[in-house]
Every structure is written in C-alpha cells, then in structure tokens.
Amino acid sequence: MQFNTTSHRTVSLILALFIFTFDQVTKFVVIRSLSIGESWPETGFFRITYVANTGSAFGLLSGLNHILIFVALMGIFVILWVLIRTSSEFLIKIALGLMLAGAAGNFVDRIAYGYVIDFIDVGPWYIFNVADSAIVISVFVLIFVFSFGGKSNSVKCDKEETYQNGYSNE
C-alpha cells in the first residue's frame, strides 16, 4: 500500500494532535493532583514531580518567558510551513509531527501559566514532560533519517517535485 504526500501530512498532523492532547491532559492531571515541588511517590527512581520550568531545555534561559514564547511561536510556524509546503519521506513527516506537538504543548503552557509544566522525574535526569519527549524523539528520528537515508535525504518543495520533467516523483 503506497501512501502519497497528502496522506503523510495527514498522519503527521493526526499524530501531532494526539501527542499534543496527551501532553495537555497529563499536565492537567498533574496540576490538579500535586502542588508545585510535590512528588508522587515521595521517593524512588521514577516519580511524578510537579515542576514549574521558567526556562527552556535543562532550565536554560530561565525567566525569559517572553523570548521563549516568541521563539516557540516562530518554531511552530516554521514546522507547519515545512510540513505543509514540502514533500519528504514518511519518517521526516512523523518527526515534524512530533516536533510540532512538543513545541505547541510547551507554548500553550507558557501562555496559560507563564512556565512549562514538567513532571516526569526519572532518577538523576532533568524533570521533563510528554512534549519534551516528543521533541527529543523527533530529533533522534531526523538524525536517523539523515544519517542512514531512506529513499532520499532531501526535502523538496511540492511544486518542484510535481513538475520536474513533467512527472511527479511520488
């Protein structure tokens, strides 16, 4: 069964919507169940710990919420533009969907609360959330695709691909 570029986009956008919704629902449960700084269970390797992250990844740029909102908004627009205006292989579209969901999930937090809600607390690592996980997975997928290739390592505009030599390359 062959999928075309439109169905790749559709799958990617459905994935983004699902991950975004899952991210927001899990954050809602956390803010309704715990106070900032509280963990459940209180000890252990894996905990749910409610943290208000005013920075970016790893707490960098803490307190610069307005700049991070602007950067996230620009990132969302760029991801949407690339997702909609380019034709690329399925895994790239999946990675873009994951990245879009993660950027949008954390963007909504910054607008609604003034910080990002982090809660997944695993051992000695930084506390993160579903949106962060989606972004990290998307980066690994892109590294895989661009390192090991697929049918193509390039991203082409739809117009270029459709009209090259009068035939579609799909």
Terminal CA-CA length for the chain: 13
How many Å apart are CA 138 and CA 159, to the nearest integer? 26
By annotation, the residues acting in catalysis are 118, 132
Q: What is the C-alpha to C-alpha distance for residues 80 and 73, in angstroms, rounded to an integer?
A: 11
